[in-house]
Amino acid sequence: MKKLMIMKKSKTKVTKKLQLAIFMLLLYVLGAVSVYGLDIVIIPVVYYEKEGSNYAQKNYERNITADISSRLNIYHEVTIDKTPLRDRLAGVTDSDARRAAEYHQINDVLYGSIKNDGNSISAEFKIYNKRRNDYGLFFASDANGQYERLIKTISEHILEWYHTDRDKVDTLRDEVRELRTELTSVKEGVKTKTKPVKEKAERVEAEKEFGLRFPVNVGYWSYIDRAWAELVQGTVEVRLGVDIFPELQLPALYGKKNEFSLGFYINYRNGVTSRRDRAILNGVIVNPEIAYHLNFYSKNWICLGAGIFYESDFWQMEEPEYERTRKFQQSLTGYSAAFDYSYRFNRWATLNFGLNMNGYFVSDTSLIFRFYAGSVITLLGGNNEK
């Protein structure tokens, strides 16, 4: 009986630890998900210039603190600390950051300095997190005179840190798994009559995967040069292809998935004049392309593509005055550019709208603009869709 009571107390203790760990995990995950709502206090940035073999604190012509704040303010609410530093000769210290966190009752404090050695300028910043009692460290440097670019670079490093700092969440998940295992052992020791509840396997999505998709589009094309447009009026074009998404993909861009693809497309186009007895065009185009895809809101994606193409055209020219028909074939090469918007209903199918432009490597023809609509069918991949 005494042994049973001890085991029950142990079970209660572990359960409380488990509940506490889960509660901390939820708080952190919610904080990571709502990263755009985080508040930051920034301590005024200290500027140094090299004099001889040492650095001396100076007043810079620009307000460095305000310039960094304006970039971070796009995503976070930034407050500039107005309280004096404890030792200005030493610059901003870790103790200043802890003092600012306590004074403003806030978790994140940004502080740092910029140094100019005459040839280059460098920035060193830290973020003190009061809740975790740790620091994030950031560096950037650039050529002297490139102040704007330096501020842009260090600000991007700070923003990227907020969107990719997930290692703390992973650590808490491991602790929860260990506590679950310990709790299971206690349950087996007590030998309760309750049936164990099967836990759902945690879904772990691969960050990188191979993808294979098949676009099918129908569009209207036309020359943009007036003389060519009068000669050949655009009609229907059908485009079939295959898009390959390699496993090696890009890291998240401000929390949004982005990726490259390699495509191979075959187009059939047909064009006629306003008078069918003058000219009929049938063309086949082979077009390899590389494209960049970016998720910008939920299931919405944009795509920018570029490539080269080979085109084979078959012309039929009617000449009623001579009572004859002339037929000839021509081959052309050129470059292509594409802009595409897609709405991905699920991992299998999308709805696409876009514009393709074809330019030729010869001077006696015109650019072609093609507006199209269609769909992309996914055969492989798509597990990481937004």
Report pLDDT for 269. 83
What pLDDT is attached to residue 82?
A: 83
- State how far the Cα of 105 lies from the Cα of 205, in Å rounded to an integer: 37
pTM: 0.43
Q: Are the folds of 36-155 and 211-380 the same? A: no
What pLDDT sits at residue 333? Answer: 92
204: alpha, beta or left? (left if phi > 0; alpha if psi -120 to 50) = beta
Structure confidence at residue 113 (pLDDT) = 93
pLDDT at 151: 94
Which sign does the torsion angle of CA 170, 172, 174, 180 carry? negative
> Do the bridges between strand 108-116 and strand 120-129 make them parallel or antiparallel, or are there none, so unpaired?
antiparallel
- CATH class, range 211-380: mainly beta
Please name the CATH architecture into which domain 36-155 falls.
Answer: 3-Layer(aba) Sandwich (3.40)
Q: What is the pLDDT of residue 231?
A: 65
For residues 294 and 256, give the distance between their C-alpha atoms in angstroms, rounded to a whole number.
7
Could you tell me which of 25, 67, 15 has the C-alpha nearest to residue 45? 67
Segment (H or E) for 262: strand 258-272
Start-end of H helices in the chain: 2-33, 64-72, 94-104, 147-164, 167-190, 226-231
The domain locations on the chain are: 36-155, 211-380
For residue 371, the model assigns a pLDDT of 87
Tokens of 82: 């107005």
Each residue's pLDDT expressed in tens, for the chain with a length of 386 residues: 544 454 555 555 555 555 665 556 555 544 443 333 457 899 999 999 998 888 898 999 999 999 999 888 877 788 888 877 665 445 678 888 898 888 888 889 999 999 999 899 999 999 998 888 888 899 999 999 899 999 999 999 988 887 765 444 555 556 666 667 767 766 666 555 555 544 444 433 445 678 889 999 898 877 766 666 666 666 788 999 999 888 777 787 777 788 889 999 999 988 777 555 567 888 899 999 999 988 887 788 999 999 999 999 887 877 666 677 778 888 889 999 999 999 988 878 899 999 988 898 987 777 888 888 999 988 887 665 54
